[in-house]
Structure 1
């Protein structure tokens, strides 16, 4: 059976994933004032960060249309999976589900499943890799869905950002009490809830202390780390990402790890210098 995995562009694809031909991206659109940027292979992180830094307005994002998802489902693969940003943070999941309904009205039944990652960025990447792992060992479509849903239930997402402005101004921090003034250089340590919303885990005075607190949370909460892949994405901060990987791997043994640059949507919300960890 052939399969295809569609990942919305908040999820980063590794080079191996791109080369495999199994994974495609459903691009979101980014807007900085009058500039409309498609979050695809043409995305230029440095140019985008410069635009954001020079703009008094907060950048915005918009999810792929149901039609674009429908077109992605229209392919030769027997099994088609979509992995989207947390449904609590974006309309991408609903759009992907509507796209499935449109596809079935237009072309008839097909084995298509949409996964709500309840995460973002490399959380989506790990879910897409889990789908590949299940498919490659020959699991049935329903088995893949069951295994991947169990994987999502166990997954944890953490992040520390230089600025929470983009998340706050775009309404992604609803329900979080007022965060400490940045004048004190307090950096909140954030995480994802089981439902896929964002909450505050703790905080540190300065980036270094906040990252240490994040690492402590990762280590305290992980179950069976030796069976898991540690994934880290960063927005223009490769050395910081490497330092975080080293701190985590000094405390726990993982099956594998990788570090990747954030694509457009994650760059928008993580802001320059942000670090996202998923395990």
Structure 2
């Protein structure tokens, strides 16, 4: 049976080497000060960051319309697996589900399933890689879905931001929290809870200490677990050295099989901003 993995554009890109040929991305769009950016491989994220810094407004993302997803689904594959941003963060999941129902009406012989990653960025790539490993091994469609849902339920995501300005502008961090963290120069170790909502996991007085704190949190969570078959995924936004630092801190404490470093696309960029990292496993 042929298969295709489709992701929204928060599926980030390999930092080094060629892009993943087995993912078909459906782009979200980003609106900032009456300018619209299509989040595809041609988007210049450094330019987007500079425009974000110069603006008083928060960038806003718009999910793909169902019709755009339907076009991506009509790829000739027997089995179609779709991975989106957490349904708590974006309407991408809902749009992809509507599209899947539309597609099944005209293609009842096809198998299609839409996964909310309950994560973003590196977390989405972790889910896509899980699907790829199962599908390439010839695992039947329904079993791929079952095992991937279990993987998502056990997926852990952390992120550390150089600045919380975008969160302040878009209302995800209230004004008082923004003042306090700014005045104290606190760096927050944040993550996704079991439903995919954003939460604070720890605090530190510098970005280096925040990275070390995150490594400690991961080590504590992985205590007594065999991680030798698991891969660590790290998305960075214009800070490859910080991604490598995070990799080294974590791998010194936890025996992951491998670590994959990714560069942020547009959607990851508007939340992580310059200097941010997103870690998932």
| 2:57 and 2:169 in contact (8 A); partners too | no
Q: Which residue is equivalent to 1:256? A: 258
- Report matched runs for 1:26-41 at 5 Å: 26-41=26-41
| 2:119 and 2:196 in contact (8 A); partners too | yes
CA distance in 1, matches of 2:137, 2:18: 17
Change in 2 beyond 3 A, CA 1:97/1:168: farther
Displacement of 1:170 after TM fit? 3.0
Change in 2 beyond 3 A, CA 1:138/1:16: farther
Instruction: Provide, for residues 90-148 of structure 1, a one-character-per-residue CA deviation record: whole Å limited to 9, x for no partner.
Output: 10110100001121234434200000100000100010011010001100000100111
The alignment's TM-score, normalised by the length of structure 2, stands at 0.93
SS of structure 2 residue aligned to 1:227: coil
| 1:17 and 1:23 in contact (8 A); partners too | no
CA distance in 2, matches of 1:172, 1:81: 30
CA distance in 2, matches of 1:17, 1:2: 23
Structure 1: segments with no counterpart, 5+ residues? none
Q: Which residue is equivalent to 2:64? A: 64
Q: Which residue is equivalent to 1:163? A: 163
Change in 2 beyond 3 A, CA 1:171/1:88: farther
Structure 2: segments with no counterpart, 5+ residues? none
CA distance in 2, matches of 1:37, 1:140: 38
CA distance in 1, matches of 2:173, 2:197: 8
The alignment's TM-score, normalised by the length of structure 1, stands at 0.94
CA distance in 1, matches of 2:256, 2:40: 31
| 2:2 and 2:78 in contact (8 A); partners too | yes
Displacement of 1:226 after TM fit? 1.2
Q: Which residue is equivalent to 2:153? A: 153
CA distance in 1, matches of 2:268, 2:65: 19
SS of structure 2 residue aligned to 1:181: helix
- Report matched runs for 1:141-220 at 5 Å: 141-172=141-172, 178=177, 180-220=180-220
Q: Which moved more, 1:214-223 or 1:162-171?
A: 162-171
Displacement of 1:181 after TM fit? 2.8
| 2:89 and 2:197 in contact (8 A); partners too | yes
CA distance in 2, matches of 1:187, 1:82: 34
CA distance in 1, matches of 2:165, 2:44: 21
Displacement of 1:11 after TM fit? 1.5
